[in-house]
Amino acid sequence: MSVLKFEELALVQKLSKLPSKSTVAFALCCATRQLNAFETYADKFAPESREVPRRIIDKLWEFVGSNKDDNNAWADQLAVVEALFPEEQYSWAPLHIYSEHALYSLAYTVRCLMTADAQEAGYAARIAYEAADQAALRILDDSRGSPDIEKLVLTSDVVQRELRRQSDDLSALENHVPGMVLQLKSLAFTNQVLSVGEMLT
């Protein structure tokens, strides 16, 4: 199997050719796969906010899976997401960092819906990739001094797994697979960018 790379420009070019709801769906896949990061953080640090991103994600899936026009106050939803960001930490705090990644991808997804700009979906995908990249670097901590560290990170299971999922999402959206939205939604909720163990490595 070939090694995948994150190529944002090429990705955005492909996304820009899709219907706007498909572009949002792609970004939403990236955000949904990171939902566990926020919920794990919230279980410990912000239990009162735990369900908020999930409710917004559910509304987004409902929107992209419908034939209806948008009637949600997405600017208000974006403000809700932005209010959830953890306070800045001054030492390595993995749950704070990965929950922040999750919220960024969700914010970019909402912005993609509001603006119909494929670049916002590209940003959502980049954040998911960067979360995997960061986890891989920590998993490979003993190899940090190696001249091949960048290659080791890129070819790691955690990075290739997320890039493969993004590639599969894009292919499904480009090919208009029947039942596509429900299938993508199910996979996105099932397949996480990082497990809790990978986040805490």
Task: Give the Cα separation of 122 and 26 in Å (integer).
Answer: 9
* 142 falls within a domain: no
| Total number of domains in the chain | 1
pLDDT of 27 over the 80 cut: yes
Contact 27, 82 (CB under 8 A): no
* 33 falls within a domain: yes
Q: How high is the pLDDT of residue 91?
A: 79
Q: How many CA atoms lie within 13 A of 24 on its CB side?
A: 23
Mean pLDDT of the chain: 93
Provide the domain limits for residue 12: 8-124+168-194
Contact 196, 166 (CB under 8 A): no
* 160 falls within a domain: no
* 200 falls within a domain: no
Token pair 């590209």 is at which residue? 122
Contact 40, 198 (CB under 8 A): no
* 147 falls within a domain: no
Q: How high is the pLDDT of residue 70?
A: 66
Sorting pLDDT into bands at 50, 70 and 90, what band is 121? Answer: very high
pLDDT of 90 over the 80 cut: no
* 155 falls within a domain: no
* Largest Cα–Cα separation, the chain: 53
Sorting pLDDT into bands at 50, 70 and 90, what band is 179? Answer: confident
Task: Give the Cα separation of 103 and 96 in Å (integer).
Answer: 11
Question: Whats the size of the chain, residue-wise?
Answer: 201
CATH number, residue 96: 1.20.1590.10
pLDDT of 71 over the 60 cut: no
Cβ contacts of 155 within 8 Å, gap of 6 or more? 3
DSSP 136: H
* 104 falls within a domain: yes
